[in-house]
Amino acid sequence: MAEAKKSSSKVILWVALGCGGILFLGMLTCAGAVYYFKKKAVDEISQKNPGLGEAIQKGGITAGVTAGAGQMVATGAAAYGGMALVATLPKEEQKENMAILERLVKVGPQLTTEDIEAIGKSMEKVQKAHEADKSMPTADDAREFMAAIKPIAEKYEPK
């Protein structure tokens, strides 16, 4: 009788080791697949948007989300600034200010949360000034907006 107990405990041990080994191999395979697909995704993103790809490589998904938000805000500010504001400026000021907006778009993925908030507040300030009476922004509004975003655009090196 004592021998039967020993043999059943050996079977249980081998079954547990076998299941544990399969579980370990499964986890290892999953980890490898996640690594491979993440690397492939980051490489693809980096080809299309180097700044965003670099942010994801350095800081993971959270940094990628912030970089994506920075890119969206920069692009929105540039579109609004280019269509509604820069057009109100005299011709001799337009080229310089369009260059600032273009630079802002290039450095968009590098913007911090504080930069994003500052750009948003600057846009909101210009828009609120004309919201009540439905008037268009003035050249002075454009200059004020551009003065607010220029230091942000120049803070980073375009990638």
* pLDDT tens digits, 25-76: 888 888 888 777 777 777 777 777 676 677 666 666 666 666 677 878 888 8
Euclidean distance between CA atoms 64 and 53, whole angstroms = 8
* pLDDT tens digits, 111-154: 888 998 999 999 888 888 888 788 888 899 999 999 999 999 99
φ, ψ (nearest 5 deg) of residue 133: -100, 5
Q: Which stretches within the chain are classed as H helix?
A: 2-48, 50-80, 91-106, 113-131, 139-154
Name the pLDDT band for 17 (thresholds 50, 70, 90).
confident
Of 50 and 23, which is predicted with more confidence?
23
Choice among 12-21, 34-43, 48-57, 95-104 with the minimum mean pLDDT: 48-57
C-alpha distance from residue 58 to each of 6, 31, 45, 157 (Å): 54, 19, 14, 17
Reading the block at residue 99, the tokens are 């260059």
